[in-house]
Amino acid sequence: MKFNDVTRGMGLEEHGIINANLIYWTPPTSVLYEQIIKRGEGLVSHLGAIAVKTGHYTGRAANEKFIVDEPTSRENVAWGKVNRPFDPERFDGLYNRMLAYMHGKDLFVQDCFAGASREHRLPIRVITERAWHSLFARNMFVSATPEELENHRPGFTVIDMPSFHAIPALDGTNSETFIIVNFARRLIIIGGTSYAGEIKKSIFTILNYLLPIEKRILSMHCSANVGPNGDTTVFFGLSGTGKTTLSADPNRSLVGDDEHGWDDNGIFNFEGGCYAKIINLSREAEPEIYETTRKFGTILENVAIDTRSRKIDLNDDSFTENTRASYPLTHIPNIVPTGCAGHPTNIIMLTCDAYGVLPPIARLSKEQAMYHFLSGYTARVAGTEAGVKEPSATFSTCFGGPFMALQPTVYGELLKEKIDRHNVTCWLVNTGWSGGPYGVGSRMRIAYSRALVNAALDGNLATGPFVKDPVFGLDIPTACPGVPAEVLNPRNTWSDKADYDEAAAKLVGMFRENFVKYAAHVTPEVATVL
C-alpha cells in the first residue's frame, strides 16, 4: 500500500522492488517528522530542528564509491583512484540482494528534480528506508509541483539502504559499505552508511557526467549569489573552504551554496537546499546560517543535544568536526527564488591553505584561473571524509575531484570558454592559515575574508594598486578597508621569513608536480603559470 500517494507515474515495481510494506510517497515535512520520531530516528530540538546521528560514518566514505564499468560510459569516465570501476555482474548480484532486503520494509520515496533550470533539470527519485533521509532529499533537491508529480518519470534513481551491507568477498567492494553508480541502468545504490551527504554527492556526480557531454553545460562545485545591481558571483571550493559562509551575505541574494550549472543563459542551482558545516557556528559571524539551526524542517547531523532541554551545542565536536545542517533554501531570508541568475561577473576560487603561504586574496589572469581551477589546491578539512582528523594539503581537480566523472580538461575547457566569452574577473581567496602553517599560524578571520570578497565584488580592489608576488606570480592588493595591510601579504605575517620562503617554495613544487598530468592538454601559457 502507499501512504500519501500523489503520483500516478512510474511505480517501484519498475525498479524491481516488490512486496514492500508501507510506501510513503513524496510525503511532506510534517509527515516525515512524525515518522522520524515514531521510528526513533531522531529528536526534535529546541525551536524545531530535527537532530539525528549518522553512526560510524560522519563524512563521505570516499574509498567505497564505484562506477559500473559498462559500454555506454566506459570511454567517457576518467578512471582512477576517484572513479573506480565496478563489475556489471557483481553489481547485478548486489542489487538483487538489496531488492530482497526491501521485501516487507517500509519505504520512503521522494520524486523531485536536480536542477532549477526547467530546460535542463533532471527528474530523480530517491528511495530510502529512513524517514530522515527522505527529509534530507526533500530539503536538498528541487520540489515537484502536484501537477508535475502526476507524470514524474525519474531520469535517475537513488536507492539508499543504510542497514543493508555488502559482502566484500562476494561483491568485490572494499568493505560492507558501498556507493555505486550505474549509468546504463540510470541507478545509484547506497548501503552500509547513514551519512546523508552520499545521496547528494551521488546526484552531483551524475550531473557532472551528463551535462558537459550532452549539453555543453559546465557543472561546478560552487556557491553563487547575486548583488543588488544584478551582478552574479561564483565561489568555487571544496567543503570547509567557505562556499556556504561567504555566499550567505545579507547584502546579496543567494542562488545556492554548493552545486551549479553554467549554460548559455547564465547559472542555475542544482539543488533546492543547503548542506552547511556548522561546527562552532555563531550568530555574530554567520547570522543567516545560524538561524536555520533553530527552524522546523532543518536536519542537524551529529550535533550535540541535551536530551532534557533539547537545546543544541554547536561548539561540541564530540561526535565529529563535520557537524551539518540540511535545510531548504527558503530558510535563508535573501535568496533568488528561481535558483537561476545571469552570467558571472566575478569568480572566486577558495582555498584553505594549510601551509599558510598563499595570500588572503589575489587577482588571477585567465591563464592563472585555468591553472588553479585544474589544480584545485586546498586542505582536506577534518570530518568531511572518513579518517581525516586534521587539515592536510591536497589537490582536488576543479575544486571537486571526488565528484568529477569526466576528464578534468573537459571542465577546464568549458570554464576557459565561458570566462573568455563573458569577460569574467577571477580571484583566488585563501580562507586557510596565516602567519604560519596549521599548528603554528592561525585560521584567517571570517571578517577579513568577507571584507576582501566584498571589496573585490564592489570594485574597490580592482581600482587600487597591486604588487606582484615573486613566488606564485599573483597580483596582491596593497590595501583593503577592514583588513590590516600586513595581512594582505602572507610573508609579512610570518615571524621567520626564511621559514616562509622554504614553505612557499615547497608548495610551488607540489603545484608543479601535480600539474604534470595536465600540461600536455593545456596551452603553454597555462602550463607555465608556476
Catalytic residue among 7, 26, 45, 60: 60
- On whether both 321 and 395 belong to a single domain, the answer is no
- The answer to whether 60 is a known catalytic residue is yes
Residue 493: phi, psi to the nearest 5? -85, -10
- The answer to whether 90 is a known catalytic residue is no
Catalytic residue among 15, 201, 260, 416: 201
- On whether both 314 and 208 belong to a single domain, the answer is no
- The answer to whether 239 is a known catalytic residue is yes
Final residue of a structural domain among 331, 359, 394: 331
Residue 128: phi, psi to the nearest 5? -135, 160
Final residue of a structural domain among 297, 331, 365: 331
Checking if the pLDDT of 1 tops 50, the result is no
Q: What are the E-state strand segments in 73-161?
A: 84-86, 107-114, 122-128, 142-143, 156-161
What is the spatial distance between Cα 169 and Cα 188, in angstroms, rounded to a whole number? 21
CA 363 to the chain's CA centroid: 24
Catalytic residue among 65, 165, 200, 221: 221
Whole-model pTM: value is 0.92
Catalytic residue among 15, 133, 185, 324: 324
| Structural domain of 301 | 276-331
The tens digit of pLDDT for each residue in 264-277 reads 999 999 999 999 99
Residue 58: phi, psi to the nearest 5? -110, 10
- Identify whether 289 is part of a domain: yes
- What does DSSP say about strands 425-430 and 433-434: parallel, antiparallel, or unpaired? unpaired
- On whether both 174 and 301 belong to a single domain, the answer is no
* Residue 9 confidence (pLDDT): 40
- On whether both 107 and 166 belong to a single domain, the answer is yes
Dihedral over alpha carbons 214, 220, 221, 226 (to 10 degrees): -140
- Identify whether 436 is part of a domain: yes
Residue 234: beta bridge partners? 224, 347
The tens digit of pLDDT for each residue in 329-356 reads 999 999 999 999 999 999 999 999 989 9
What is the spatial distance between Cα 232 and Cα 239, in angstroms, rounded to a whole number? 21
- The answer to whether 283 is a known catalytic residue is no
- Identify whether 251 is part of a domain: no
* Count of CB atoms situated within 10 Å of the CB of 84: 16
Would the CA dihedral through 219, 365, 416, 262 be positive or negative? positive
In contact, 224 and 235? CB cutoff 8 Å: yes
- On whether both 115 and 176 belong to a single domain, the answer is yes
What is the spatial distance between Cα 348 and Cα 369, in angstroms, rounded to a whole number? 10
The tens digit of pLDDT for each residue in 18-75 reads 999 999 999 999 999 999 999 999 999 999 999 999 999 999 999 999 999 999 999 9
Final residue of a structural domain among 169, 187, 215: 215
In contact, 379 and 432? CB cutoff 8 Å: yes
Catalytic residue among 231, 258, 353, 475: 258
Q: Confidence band (pLDDT; 50, 70, 90) for 387? A: low
Q: What is the CATH number of the domain that holds 183?
A: 3.40.449.10
* Number of domains observed in the structure of the chain: 3
- Identify whether 290 is part of a domain: yes
The string over 202-213, giving b where at least 16 C-beta atoms fall within 10 Å of a residue's C-beta and e elsewhere, is bbbbbbbbbbbe
- On whether both 299 and 444 belong to a single domain, the answer is no
- On whether both 203 and 350 belong to a single domain, the answer is no
- The answer to whether 177 is a known catalytic residue is no
In contact, 323 and 313? CB cutoff 8 Å: no
Give the cell for residue 69: 564499468
* Count of CB atoms situated within 10 Å of the CB of 105: 16
- What does DSSP say about strands 84-86 and 65-68: parallel, antiparallel, or unpaired? parallel
- The answer to whether 449 is a known catalytic residue is no
Q: What is the CATH number of the domain that holds 310?
A: 2.170.8.10
In contact, 49 and 296? CB cutoff 8 Å: yes
- On whether both 293 and 347 belong to a single domain, the answer is no
Residue 124: beta bridge partners? 112, 156
The tens digit of pLDDT for each residue in 111-125 reads 999 999 999 999 999
Half-sphere exposure of 42 (CA within 13 A, CB side): 30
- Identify whether 244 is part of a domain: no
- On whether both 285 and 353 belong to a single domain, the answer is no
Catalytic residue among 65, 138, 243, 372: 243
| 367 Cβ contact partners less than 8 Å away, ≥ 6 residues apart | 523, 525, 526, 529
The tens digit of pLDDT for each residue in 419-446 reads 999 999 999 999 999 999 988 999 999 9
Mean pLDDT of the chain: 93
- The answer to whether 221 is a known catalytic residue is yes
In contact, 122 and 206? CB cutoff 8 Å: yes
Query: Do you know the residue count of the chain?
Result: 530
- On whether both 206 and 78 belong to a single domain, the answer is yes
- Identify whether 265 is part of a domain: no
Catalytic residue among 128, 157, 233, 239: 239
Q: Residue 53 in 3-state DSSP?
A: coil
Q: What is the CATH number of the domain that holds 521?
A: 3.90.228.20
- On whether both 509 and 371 belong to a single domain, the answer is yes
Residue located via cell numbers 552500509: 192
Q: Confidence band (pLDDT; 50, 70, 90) for 305? A: very high
Checking if the pLDDT of 238 tops 90, the result is no
- On whether both 320 and 428 belong to a single domain, the answer is no
Q: Residue 229 in 3-state DSSP?
A: coil
What is the spatial distance between Cα 441 and Cα 115, in angstroms, rounded to a whole number? 40
* Count of CB atoms situated within 10 Å of the CB of 229: 8
- Identify whether 243 is part of a domain: no
Catalytic residue among 244, 247, 397, 425: 244
CA 510 to the chain's CA centroid: 25
What is the spatial distance between Cα 415 and Cα 37, in angstroms, rounded to a whole number? 46
